[in-house]
Amino acid sequence: MKLKTKDLLTLAELTPKEFTGLIDYSIKLKKESKNGNKPLLKNKTLTMIFQKPSTRTRVSFEVGMFQLGGHAVNLSSNEMQLSRGESIEDTAKTLSRYTDCIMARVYDHVLLEKLSLFSTIPVINGLSDSFHPCQILADFMTIKEKKGKFNGLKISWIGDGNNVCNSMIYGCALANIKLSIATPKGFEPDKTALKESKKSIDVELTTDPLQAIKNADVVVTDTYTSIHNNDPKRIKKFLPKYQVNQALMNHAKNNAIFMHCLPAKRDHEVTSFVIDGPQSVVWDEAENRLHSQKALLASIIRA
């Protein structure tokens, strides 16, 4: 499939049909990968820029390009001329002459918007302080695999209303899934994402985890401290009320699944018992980063 958008920075660039189409395409590529994927990106190169650490994003994008017959160049931003003051504009124009796509993990989301403006090739957000769209592609692929559908499901987000939560809001709006978010006061997700998604779906915002998790099919959390927001004092605002433990999970549906983008801080936002227990699908979720990003790359990189 081919996407209309040049870039993927938030998920808001996609239509519901494109989003669900990408999820189905990811599942198809996963099945095909057992015998080796077709070289859909032969002679194509991805530039990967990292301002922040990464395990899953770094490896899954590089392996994904390799499995589709392409190549990935990995750059830490501090080894680029960007770190010596070269402009985003000149960087974007230069990379557009060598490679076919840029995936960047950045602090300020505006940097991605600038890369997108000045590059002639697609730009993919590999996480910014504000959004993590690639994580949500993998999450919804996992939900489709486990539940077989999106219609009628309820997702419960417990904890910090962070970058992953902001993208989850867009994902739910695109897949028409009900979302209930429980955060402490002052840790709510992005207001614009909430306002835009409320036009199409039912998003509930509460400070009560019991209310948010009631009847949930999918329970999701993330660390209380993100790379850009790592003051340990934050933890006191979340514990013990916003921890996903078995007592809380028991208020979700019996067949509810537990998801976490990883890396996790066991016994902070989730107990070891839950993340390592039978309801947890975190390893499939991590694996699906690879398959869903292959679908994205094959759909966004121009022939």
Give the interface with ligand NVA as residue ranges (CB under 6 A): 127, 162-164, 222-223, 226-227, 261
Q: Which does 222 bind (CB under 5 to 8 A by kind): ligand CP, ligand NVA, none?
A: ligand NVA
Q: Among residues 134 and 213, whose Cβ is nearest to ligand CP?
A: 134
Name residue 101's beta-bridge partners.
Answer: 46
Among 77, 262, 264, 279, contact with ligand CP (rule: CB under 6 A): 262
Burial of 107 (0-12, 13-18, 19+ CB in 10 A): middle
Q: Which does 55 bind (CB under 5 to 8 A by kind): ligand NVA, ligand CP, none?
A: ligand CP
Active-site residue, 266 included = no
CA-wise closest residue to 134 among 264, 7, 277: 7
Count CB-CB contacts under 10 A for residue 34: 7
Q: Among residues 19 and 50, whose Cβ is nearest to ligand CP?
A: 50
- In the DSSP assignment, the letter for residue 265 is -
Q: Among residues 248 and 261, whose Cβ is nearest to ligand CP?
A: 261
Among 252, 261, 296, 301, contact with ligand CP (rule: CB under 6 A): 261
The nearest distance, CB 48 to ligand CP, in angstroms, is 11
Active-site residue, 222 included = yes
Count CB-CB contacts under 10 A for residue 113: 17
Count CB-CB contacts under 10 A for residue 144: 19
The nearest distance, CB 262 to ligand CP, in angstroms, is 5
55 contacts ligand CP (rule: CB under 6 A): yes
Cβ-closest residue to ligand NVA?
Answer: 226
CA-wise closest residue to 50 among 80, 19, 24: 80
Q: Among residues 66 and 98, whose Cβ is nearest to ligand CP?
A: 66
Count CB-CB contacts under 10 A for residue 252: 22
Q: Among residues 56, 217, 261, 268, which one is catalytic?
A: 261
- Alpha-helical (H) ranges within 124-162 are 133-147
Burial of 97 (0-12, 13-18, 19+ CB in 10 A): exposed
* C-alpha torsion angle, residues 7, 9, 10, 14 (rounded to 10): 10
Q: In the stretch 152-191, what mask flags binding to ligand CP with x, by CB under 6 A?
A: ----------------------------------------
Residues designated catalytic: 105, 132, 135, 222, 261, 289
